[in-house]
Chain A
Amino acid sequence: MRGAADEKADPVGVRWPELGVALLLMALGVLVVTDSFRVGTGWGDDGPRAGYFPFYIGLALLLSSGWVALKQLLRWGSHEHFAEREQLRSVWAILWPMTIYIGLIFPLGIYVASALLIAWFMLRHGKHGVALTTAVALGVPLAFFLVFERWFLVSLPKGPLEAFFGF
């Protein structure tokens, strides 16, 4: 796709992301249309059936994203930029910890996972001292705990640590 010979500063072209998103939207359009056929796109005994409206929505989604994809294919040679590689790297630097964070909420609960996320960011990207990092990483989830569990009585996902303290 993107040759290994590419220079480091070489920006990523817009054509693959553009085509990818358009194809994804087309696929979603196909899903909507086929499901509308399943529930019926026509006229039932008591009026329009469940697929009557979504069918046209799916069709319009398919056509409009198909048009985007077609236009992209027609000017495949043009070299518009999507983003610099450096920029994508910084986006990735926040995207993967975010994904792991959400994954960690399942076993650990939201408070512990949040503390880990904040600590990781402050140490890795902010180069803050250990003392400040510990204070913020523990203080912020604790404050949220008080606000939500105590004040608003909203229960958020909790893990073994909270269970240990009896929550």
Chain B
Amino acid sequence: MDELQNLFHGFGVAATLPNLGYMLIGITLGVLIGVLPGLGGANGVAILLPLTFSMNPTSAIIMLSCIYWGALFGGAITSILFNIPGEPWSVATTFDGYPMAQQGRAAQALTAAFTSSFVGAMFAVLLITFTAPLLARFALKFGPAEFFAVQLLTFASFVGMSKEPPAKTIAAMMLGFALAAVGMDTVTGQLRMTYGFPELLKGFGFLIAVIGLFGIGEILVTMEEGLAFKGQSAKIDFKVVWRTWGELLKHWKLFLRSVAVGCWMGITPGGATPASFMSYGMARRMSRDPQSFGKGRIEGVVAPETAAHAAGTSALLPMLTLGIPGSPTAAVLLGGLLIWGLQPGPMLFVEQKEFVWGLIASMYIGNVVGLIVVLTTVPWWAAILRIPFSIIGPVIIVICAIGAYTVNNSMFDVVMMLVFGVMGYLFKKLKYPLAPMVLALVLGDMAEASFRQAMLLSQGSMSIFWSNPLVGTIAGLAILMLVWPLWGAAKNVARQRELRMGR
């Protein structure tokens, strides 16, 4: 068992005292970020990334990934106690979590949510531990054509799977690619789309875009919904935790189902948010008493939380092995790896063993630490939410501005953050998806490079994308994903015609 040996070595790396300290800081910051409106996993990591440039990469990624786990945990607190989803993936948790809190069962709901998150994450980490090395070994055989095909599949599945209109998904994605292309072309050295502005030479930083789109954009959306935070209070004591755990054991089938949904959605770029909704919907449909959902069923908390955490964690699998992140936060982490000089992808498992296995081991420890931290500190987080938005709001704006400035020490970036913020608000209101845009912005250069290399190999002929069974299958799947919405539209038209004929 090579993996187990590597993993134990990884525990040796992760369980040093400074790294455990970074984990604790990361989890605490992460829960804080998850609790505060306008700060989420993606932009929280983006803001803190510049501060880690001087740290050693292993410690830095351990801290940043712990922020991510913390944010996943923190989202549940606001959903259950305040009926405000701190994160998009905890929207489904409010359906049954808040009613439970209203009935005085807040402690049970929180325990269920945290435990489910923990279970979801653990299964996903197990999946990563045992499949990542295999996938990486397999991906070592990939050439540029295969890589571009996988990237194409990633983006095509956004078009095929997202519930937003396909034209808007494509537009958002292409905007991301276009912004990524601005600046110096790395191959020919030519300037592209700078139109004479020296500030554009280095292109648009995806960190700025993430802080603007998710941070400022989120604040604008929050403002719109009004600022009255009225919440239930909660204290968790050990007896309740124990009793709830006993009750949760009965729902093991639900856990397994939700883990499966979550892992699948995390690896394919569906992400945590659709995973949580899907899992909630499945739990309701398969329940003997679907009517009672939405009125405070513990299953209604377990299903979305397990799936969201499983998806959020397994999103790191394609990021580490293929260099393709499964979620916006994973995309930001990937950007971090690039900045630290680590090229994500199959070679990472060969060249940076210590880093990879340290990170994977830290996922186990980080989630255990996270579970303990959130179970013991819930009342304090709830107290933070009682601070009025008229204080929290401007402080978050200041944090975003500082975060945007520190990326490149440039005021131009702060102005761009505001532009991206307004864009994020408009996009959200008009149902343009943000995730594919961010992914395109992060992956743009890589996708372009592999496309050009593939074209060089084939002397400009597209036939390279079906030159062997492997690349042909991936490219075929991608094209299937792209035309998927067309099939749905055709079915719609046919049904409408039928209706008209019937009348």
Asked whether, in the complex, the Cβ of A68 is within 8 Å of the Cβ of B178, the reply is: no
- Residues of chain A within 8 A (CB-CB) of B187 are 47, 50
Distance A88 CA – B226 CA, assembled complex (angstroms): 11
Query: Which of B96-104, B168-176, B285-293, B317-325 participates in binding chain A?
Result: B168-176
> Does the CB pair B181–A54 fall under 8 Å?
yes
Note all chain A residues with C-beta closer than 8 A to B51: 152, 154
Task: Name which of B56-64, B70-78, B255-263, B409-417 contacts chain A.
Answer: B409-417
- Assembly CA distance A104 to B466 (angstroms): 56
A76 at interface by CB-CB < 8 Å: no
- B interface, over-half SS: helix
Chain A residue nearest in CB terms to B165: A68
Q: How far is the CB of B56 from the nearest CB of chain A, in Å?
A: 16
Contacts of B178 in A (CB 8 A): 28-29, 32, 54, 57-58, 61
- Is residue A73 within 8 Å, beta carbon to beta carbon, of the partner chain? no
In the complex, whether B5 has a CB less than 8 A from a CB of chain A is no
Does B401 count as interface, using CB distance less than 8 angstroms? yes
Interface size of B as a range: 35 or more
B86 to chain A, nearest CB (A): 19
Cβ contact of A157, chosen from B175, B388, B393, B411, cutoff 8 A:
B411
The answer to whether B398 and A157 touch across the interface, beta carbons within 8 angstroms, is no
Select from chain A the residue with minimum beta-carbon distance to B423. A21
Q: Which of B11-19, B39-47, B189-197, B273-281 contacts A (4 or more CB under 8 A)?
A: B189-197
CA distance A31 to B196 in the complex (A): 13
Count chain A residues whose beta carbon lies closer than 8 angstroms to a beta carbon of B: 68
Closest to B432 in A: A21
Report which of A17, A47, A87, A148 forms a contact with B224, defined as CB distance below 8 A.
A87
Could you say which residues of chain A place their CB within 8 Å of the CB of B426?
17, 21
At the interface, is chain A mostly helix, strand, loop or mixed?
A: helix
B134 CB–A CB distance under 8 Å: no
User: How far is the CB of B372 from the nearest CB of chain A, in Å?
Assistant: 26
Which of B187, B411, B421 has the most A CB atoms < 10 Å from its CB? B187
A99 CB-CB contact with B under 8 Å = yes
Residues of A within 8 A of B394 (CB): 114, 117-118, 120-122
Q: Is A122's CB under 8 angstroms from B391's CB?
A: yes
Closest B residue to A22 using CB positions: B171
In the complex, per-residue mask of A36-52: 1 if CB is within 8 Å of any chain B CB, else 0: 10010001100111111
Q: Which residues of B contact A148 (CB under 8 A)?
A: 402, 406
Inter-chain CA distance A91–B426, complex, in Å, is 11
Interface status of A108 (Cβ within 8 A of chain B): no
Query: Which of B174, B421, B448 sits near A61, CB closer than 8 Å?
Result: B174
Compute how far the CA of A25 lies from the CA of B430 in the bound complex, rounded to whole angstroms.
13
Of the listed residues A50, A93, A140, the one surrounded by the most CB atoms of chain B closer than 10 A to its CB is A50
CB interface residues, A 80-104, toward B, < 8 Å: 82-83, 87-88, 90-91, 93-95, 98-99, 101-102
Chain B neighbourhood of A50, CB < 8 A: 185, 187-188, 190, 192
Interface 0/1 of B190-223, CB less than 8 Å to A: 1111010000000000000000000010011001
Instruction: Give me 12 other A-B pairs in contact (C-beta within 8 A), A61-B171, A64-B171, A102-B415 excluded.
Output: A21-B427, A21-B432, A25-B171, A50-B190, A53-B452, A57-B178, A60-B174, A90-B226, A98-B421, A118-B398, A128-B388, A154-B406
Interface of A with B (CB < 8 Å)? 14, 17-18, 21-22, 25, 28-29, 31-32, 35-36, 39, 43-44, 47-54, 57-58, 60-61, 64-65, 67-68, 71, 82-83, 87-88, 90-91, 93-95, 98-99, 101-102, 105-106, 110, 114, 117-118, 120-122, 125-128, 136, 140-141, 144, 148, 152, 154-157
Q: List 19 A–B pairs whose Cβ atoms lie within 8 Å, in order of A's numbering.
A: A29-B174, A31-B195, A47-B187, A48-B460, A50-B192, A53-B181, A54-B192, A57-B177, A57-B178, A64-B171, A68-B171, A83-B224, A91-B223, A94-B220, A101-B397, A102-B414, A117-B394, A120-B394, A122-B391
